[in-house]
Amino acid sequence: MAQRAVWLISHQPRTALCGTVRFSRRYPTVEKRARVFNGTSYVSIPEDGPFLKALLFELRLLDDDKGFVEIRDSCSHINKTSIYGLPIGGEELWPVVAFLKNGMIYACVPLVEQILSPRPPLISISGISQGFELLFGIQDFLYSGQKSDTELNTKLSLLPDLLLQACPFGTLLDANLQNSLDNIHFTSVPQPQKQPAWKAGTCKKIGKTMEIIIQLTKEVQSTFFDQHDLSVPWNFNYRFKCACDLEGIMPNVTISLSLPTNGSPLQDVLVHPCVTSLDSAILTSSSTDTMDDSAFSGPYKFPFTPPLESFNLCYYTSQVPVPPILGFYQVKEEETHLRITVNLKLHESVKNNFEFCEAHIPFYNRGPITHLEYKVSFGQLEVFREKGLLIWTIGQKFPKSMEINLSGTVAFGRKSHEKQPFDPVCIRGTAYVKLHFKILDYTLTGCYADQHSVQVFASGKPKISAYRKLISSDYYIWNSKASAPIIYRKFYV
């Protein structure tokens, strides 16, 4: 369950080492156990320098990625998890949990309480998921609300102290490092029994206004094609976010989600670990099942003890008959230029009142835009020549016809590799339009959580407010004249 060592490495391409170790921590008592458990297969934790080099090589983050290197590039060297074996000094350090996010590499080596050769199955190593959780916790801490490099550096400088709280001996106590930060400043208030460990040690002051904010966000993912053998899938993911500012040690809250008549049931529900119990009907409802009338249709109750910070109480999906905006995109390669056509249609049942709505039309693996002729029926078109990007701003409303279109021709200059990174998806004719929009106080399904459905078991009466919104996420319309990168057939129906 324990970790032998943790590293944070910033990836710096085009520098001598291509990276710097920003933070590292070793756990010698765990290392001692590793030596006993791993026996003859034991490989010691290397110093930072050799580790950095080996990890960057394995993750293919060194600049000299030009030649074929058999130990990394061989077709049988297949890695399907973020867990690696690093060749160091003629031996192999395994398992190394590592991933790259926002230019930072997070890495740790979990203790394996067995012989390492042959490699034991990953599922039997408890330290793997613990290691991931530790790294995710560090990542959340570093990037939550962080905007500048200075802020990042401040947070990095706090890490040694935080890990002393959250992971003093290599065994993780709490992945939420913010809690540990709060814990560092001891409180003089004697804490009673049954204080949840995931709540920071401080107690709320009596007399402050209590508040519960509920926010239901629907993220629409969609992918459109216009080819006869491809279906048009779309996907709604709901995020149900809560922020509870309540008095007391263990306030209990129950929030219920209700469906309108004939509303689609909630499916694929994932809840926050603070939810204390769950109806098994909620658990078993899955989008891969065929629907029938006997399906559970709510209300969906979520009893929980809220943590101090705002959190995502649950995620779910729901099947909705229509996508909010239908789209069509066509790109034709003509002699010296591209001819493009985009049609968008807002579904009549959707509230025509956006906070914003725009369509991004990027052109990858080509040079900067040198020439553009276009016609839009509605809205304005902005051109980012160097980036090879068109942004069609539709604004707050679709016109009465609910239908808008754009057509034009684009020509490009010579491609330069430094300015425009290679995009592996949009090659040949493959291209897309991506929609970005947000509609406040609206959800397609009509699923709601109103103030009256909230039960609070705490002293005092909190103010309860509920919001909802519809936002787009990964809303793509692919070029109908080329093959799409997603294969989506009807075989499972």
**Residues between 362 and 401 that touch other proteins (CB under 8 A):** none
What minimum distance in Å lies between the beta carbon of 167 and other proteins?
Answer: 9
Under the binding rule (CB under 8 A), the answer on residue 239 touching other proteins is yes
Binding of other proteins by 146 (CB under 8 A): no
Quick check: 145 binds other proteins (CB under 8 A)? no
Residues from 165 through 194 that contact other proteins (CB under 8 A): 168-169, 171-176, 183, 186-188, 190-191, 193-194
When binding is defined by CB under 8 A, the residue of 11, 272, 332, 387 that contacts other proteins is 272
Q: Two tokens at 91?
A: 């031996």
List 117, 227, 276, 401, residue binding other proteins (CB under 8 A): 276
Count of positions on this chain that bind other proteins (CB under 8 A): 109
Pick between residue 371 and residue 428 the one whose CB is nearest to other proteins. Answer: 428
Torsion of CA 293, 295, 301, 305, to 10 degrees: -160
Nearest-approach distance from CB 161 to other proteins, in angstroms: 8
Residues 6+ apart with CB under 8 A from 89: 46, 50
Q: Which amino acid is at 438?
A: K
Nearer to other proteins, 27 or 437 (CB): 27
If one asks whether residue 291 binds other proteins (CB under 8 A), the answer comes out as no
Are 441 and 469 in contact by the 8 Å Cβ rule? The answer is yes
Q: Is 289 helix (H, G, I), strand (E, B) or coil?
A: coil
Q: How far apart are the first and last CA of the chain?
A: 42
Instruction: Give, in degrees to the nearest 5, the angle at Cα 361 between 360 and 367.
Output: 130
Least gap, CB of 329 to other proteins (angstroms) = 16
Q: Report, in Å, the least distance between residue 253 CB and other proteins.
A: 14
Binding mask 324-363 for other proteins (x = CB under 8 A): ----------------------------------------
- Contact with other proteins (CB under 8 A) among 273, 335, 348, 461: 273
Binding segment for other proteins among 195-203, 367-375, 393-401, 444-452 (CB under 8 A)? 195-203
Task: Please write down the HEC assignment for all residues of 192-259.
Answer: CCCCCCCCCCCCCCCCCCCEEEEEEEEEEEEEECCCCCCCCCEEEEEEEEEEEECCCCCCEEEEEEEC
Rule CB under 8 A: which of 305-324 touch other proteins? Answer: 305, 312, 315
Residue 415 structure tokens: 């491609």
Quick one: DSSP state of residue 265?
A: P
The span from the CA of 451 to the CA of 464, in Å, is 6
Report the residue from 13, 17, 20, 47 that binds other proteins according to the rule CB under 8 A. Answer: 47
List the structure tokens of 269. 């529900």
Whichever of 355 and 474 has its CB closer to other proteins, that residue is 474
Scan residues 428-457 and list those touching other proteins (CB under 8 A): 428
Total residue count of the chain as it appears in this document:
493
Helix, strand and coil content of the chain, in percent to the nearest 5, comes to: 20, 35, 45
Q: How far is the CB of 126 from other proteins (least distance, A)?
A: 5
Least separation in angstroms between residue 74's CB and other proteins is 5
Q: Which stretch binds other proteins (CB under 8 A): 113-121, 207-215, 368-376, 456-464?
A: 113-121
Measured from the CB of residue 148, what is the shortest distance to other proteins in angstroms? 23
Q: What phi, psi does 362 have (nearest 5°)?
A: -90, 150
> Nearest approach, Cβ of 458 to other proteins (angstroms)?
17
Who contacts 439 (Cβ-Cβ below 8 Å, separation ≥6)? 324, 350, 351, 353, 354, 355, 469, 470, 471
* Binding status of residue 157 toward other proteins by CB under 8 A: no
Please, which residue, 304 or 398, has the CB nearer to other proteins?
A: 304
Q: Which of 3, 38, 130, 453 binds other proteins (CB under 8 A)?
A: 130
Site for other proteins in 24-43 (CB under 8 A): 25-29, 31-33, 36-37
With beta carbons less than 8 A apart as the criterion, state whether 444 and 472 touch: no
Among 150, 209, 262, 280, binds other proteins (CB under 8 A): 280
The three-state (H, E, C) secondary structure of 155-182, written as one string: HHHHHHHHHHHHCCCCCCCCCCHHHHHH
Say how far apart CA 468 and CA 239 lie, in whole Å: 10
Instruction: List the x/- string, 71-100, binding to other proteins by CB under 8 A.
Output: --xxxxxxxxxx--------------x-x-
CB closer to other proteins out of 28 and 260: 28
The C-alpha atoms of residue 487 and residue 342 are separated, in whole angstroms, by: 22
> What is the number of alpha carbons within 13 Å of residue 431 lying toward its C-beta?
26
